[in-house]
Structure 1
Amino acid sequence: MKIYYGVCSWGLGHATRSLPVVRALVKEGHEVVMVSTGRALELLKKELRDSVEYMDYPDYPLPYSENPKGYLPKFFAMMPIYLHTLIWEHENFYRYIEKMNKKPDIIISDARYGIWHKKIPSYFITHQLRLINPGRVRTLEYLTEYWNLYFARQFYGVIVPDFKENDLTGELSHNLSLIDENKVRYVGPISDFKKKEVSEDIDLLVSISGPEPQRTVFENIMVEQLRKLRSGGKFEGNIIVTEGKTEQEVKREDEDGIKFISFVNKKEREELLNRAKMVISRSGYSTIMDLCILGKKALFVPTPQQTEQEYLSEYHNAKKTFFSVPQSKISLFENLEEAKRYKGRNGGNVEKTVKEIVQIVCSKENFGF
């Protein structure tokens, strides 16, 4: 079958969690076309190469700002542009499909609201059925759930990569007010990594990721903090920093013995994570799934005013699974000592999860709203 697979380009998480599903579809002999843009598309090309086709298709504008306090004003100012882009995305995708002689048999969309077609079985993958807002204004969260319900009705089914019980997403995808959770398929976490029995010889793995400009802001803060950590012999362990720059591949080591890798592919990142005793990263959901599958401890630094990451970091902090600290209050020496005391999280069967997703979409199962 021919399958169009849309991937949101806000950071690399949506792309990385799509990889095991895409590989499984290709292995079964399906013809897959990846629909994405920017760094997410570049990552997909690096990992999947010529096993699939690619369609560079614009995504929604990013509401991020270098100044954390500028996030909300920018977000609300960009809402008309965001809505216009979403409508454009769907109408143009719909017209594109209508012009095709051989239309796709299935459409899968990972957080791309406009990638669906009313005449073709379409599936929506998301971990966020409710959008958390600063201050937790329930009326606004109710409206965002209604927004998701509206779009969920355009799809054959909604697939959530999380556990139904003892979950990882908290109120992002559970305890919903409008959406019937019995009509949502909770399939468990998806990760492109497997746990391996290797020596944990990396004392600290720092993963820089996310959209600009906050990616660079985070990188600069972490480099400064790591150098302070090194000063006075406070921390002499092995430190590796992955910079999340898909456009180049450079390895270097600075005067403090900190190793920097501009980009790592799936195999390299899997090895690094398995070797790491402690991970420092943003609290993106794909990262949480990876850590859960590998059973690793972490220190989270959520992207400022990125409410999903802030909520997830607070949620897991409260559960004593992963320690987190605001970007403006990082003090690595103290933060790392606290993070070591948290228990981390284990669980999930990726092979079973991927098999269930492939079974759902390839059987064209309709369990929608």
Structure 2
Amino acid sequence: MTSPSRPQLLVTVLDWGMGHATRTWPLIEHALGAGWRVHVASKGTALAWLQSRAEEMDQPHLTFHTKPGPDIKYAKRGNFWRIARQMPAFVSYVERERTWAQRMVQTLNLDAILSDNCYGCAVPGIPSVLMSHQLQIPTPKWLEGPARSVVQRWTQAFDEVWVPDLAPGETSLSGALADAQVHSHTQYIGVLSRLAKHKQPNSTQTWAKVGMVSGVEPHRSLMEAALRTWMADAEGPCLVIAGQPGGGTRQDGHITTWCDPTDAELASALQSAGTVVCRSGYSSQLDLAALGARAILIPTPGQPEQVLLGKLWSERFGFVCLTQRQLETGELPEHATGSLPKLEPNVRAFEHLSSWLHKAAAHPA
């Protein structure tokens, strides 16, 4: 039985890796600070990461739930077609999400729903927002129209769409991915990152090389192995950020491994590294933008979105973007390059969230 003294917010998070979870965390914290009881729903690694964050705080108004969702499987090569074959299952889960969300509204007496890329988590009569940077799903040309139509149909169930990016233009971080008209109430809420509050005005080098491992298997492990080989003959201490909640730390010669660093530790490492290597996943890029940090970008094989983002950041901001095979063979430059636009992360997102929560709390149940 939930307390009637606080309005009830459901936050649903897509569980493909940890990126959606990490970028949603600042909004969860902000909603709690605004006096809401927050119910967070996800599954797998994303849910484990969110629960690990909650263990660091004494917050009785935060609860967790397991949400239905498909287990997308990846291969070492040829991922695009393997993912494509699983799309019918993904579409069926959108329908299952709708049934689940309606049940959650009734059980928890919800006042509002904030959904990070969970397209079925909108319920008629309940204020709802879909957060996504992927308004145009990257597909072969002949599929772009049908893909846009499907996204547009799904987004219409929500009152608003929030894009964690600057408005379309030369400073947009997601480029064509977020430059599509799918909803009449689309808001660009700026850069969103849990690391923003840990930005340091001046940093001295602590690590010669930092590798940030992310993504789903088998590519998470393949990337980690390649990073360790790249670091093996480095002159100076190196750090592997392994992306495994609850895994602790270990030391192998001059290579340190942090499985699940705190936000402050991660931000410090990214800002005090001689060279950073990470995926071109959008949430990782949001973290880089929030800190003003450079990195060599490695798209996950077979994920067109990461390939597109890596190419965009190479052409627009001067970042180095290489393939995973180039990482595996050690074809990396000495240092990362690139320059990102100056910005104030989280400010616009928090303003939008505060305004929306105020209106949702006043909305008749």
TM-score (norm 1): 0.88
Structure 1 SS opposite 2:162 = strand
Name the aligned partner's letter for residue 242 of structure 2. Answer: E
CA distance 1:333–1:68, shift in 2 (3 Å)? closer
Task: Tell me, yes or no, if structure 1 residue 83 matches structure 2 residue 91.
Answer: yes
**Counterpart pick for 1:207 among 206, 212, 216:** 212
Structure 2 distance, partners of 1:341, 1:357, is 34
Aligned twin of 2:278: 281
Structure 2 SS opposite 1:39 = helix
Percentage of identical aligned residues:
25
Task: Tell me, yes or no, if structure 1 residue 292 matches structure 2 residue 289.
Answer: yes
Following TM superposition, by how much is the alpha carbon of 1:334 offset from its aligned partner in structure 2, in angstroms?
Answer: 5.1
**Counterpart pick for 1:170 among 175, 180, 199:** 175
Alignment of 1:80-229 (within 5 A): 80-98=88-106, 100=107, 103-133=109-139, 137-164=140-167, 165=169, 166-174=171-179, 176=180, 178-179=181-182, 183-193=185-195, 194=197, 195-197=199-201, 198-227=203-232
Structure 1 distance, partners of 2:216, 2:188, is 28
> What do residues 136-158 of structure 1 show as CA deviations (whole Å, max 9, x unaligned)?
x3331222111111111100100
Structure 1 SS opposite 2:154 = helix
Structure 2 SS opposite 1:32 = strand
CA contact (8 A) 1:248 1:263 kept: yes
CA contact (8 A) 1:277 1:297 kept: no
Aligned twin of 1:360: 356
Alignment of 1:332-347 (within 5 A): 335-337=332-334, 339-347=335-343
**Counterpart pick for 2:252 among 251, 254, 261:** 254
Aligned twin of 2:48: 42
Following TM superposition, by how much is the alpha carbon of 1:267 offset from its aligned partner in structure 2, in angstroms?
Answer: 2.6
- Structure 1 moving runs of 4+ over 6 Å: none
Aligned twin of 1:61: 71
CA contact (8 A) 2:68 2:96 kept: no
Following TM superposition, by how much is the alpha carbon of 1:35 offset from its aligned partner in structure 2, in angstroms?
Answer: 0.5
Following TM superposition, by how much is the alpha carbon of 1:331 offset from its aligned partner in structure 2, in angstroms?
Answer: 6.7
Structure 1 SS opposite 2:10 = strand
> What do residues 61-106 of structure 1 show as CA deviations (whole Å, max 9, x unaligned)?
31422x222x1332232222222222112222223433x2x51100
CA distance 1:340–1:274, shift in 2 (3 Å)? closer
Name the aligned partner's letter for residue 57 of structure 1. Answer: K
Structure 1 distance, partners of 2:354, 2:72, is 30
Alignment of 1:323-334 (within 5 A): 323-330=320-327
Name the aligned partner's letter for residue 158 of structure 1. Answer: V
Name the aligned partner's letter for residue 128 of structure 1. Answer: Q
TM-score (norm 2): 0.89
Following TM superposition, by how much is the alpha carbon of 1:130 offset from its aligned partner in structure 2, in angstroms?
Answer: 0.4
> What do residues 243-280 of structure 1 show as CA deviations (whole Å, max 9, x unaligned)?
1111421x22223x111112212232122223224321
**C-alpha RMSD of matched pairs (Å):** 2.0
CA contact (8 A) 1:36 1:56 kept: yes
**Counterpart pick for 2:315 among 318, 328, 343:** 318
Aligned twin of 1:270: 267
Name the aligned partner's letter for residue 23 of structure 1. Answer: E
Query: What runs of 5+ residues in structure 2 fail to find an aligned partner?
Result: 1-6
Aligned twin of 1:6: 12
Following TM superposition, by how much is the alpha carbon of 1:332 offset from its aligned partner in structure 2, in angstroms?
Answer: 7.7
Following TM superposition, by how much is the alpha carbon of 1:32 offset from its aligned partner in structure 2, in angstroms?
Answer: 0.2
> What do residues 25-58 of structure 1 show as CA deviations (whole Å, max 9, x unaligned)?
1011100000111111111111123521000113
CA contact (8 A) 1:3 1:105 kept: yes
Structure 2 SS opposite 1:206 = strand
Name the aligned partner's letter for residue 278 of structure 2. Answer: S
Following TM superposition, by how much is the alpha carbon of 1:300 offset from its aligned partner in structure 2, in angstroms?
Answer: 0.6
Structure 2 distance, partners of 1:118, 1:130, is 25
Structure 1 SS opposite 2:124 = coil
Structure 2 distance, partners of 1:119, 1:87, is 18
CA contact (8 A) 1:283 1:309 kept: yes
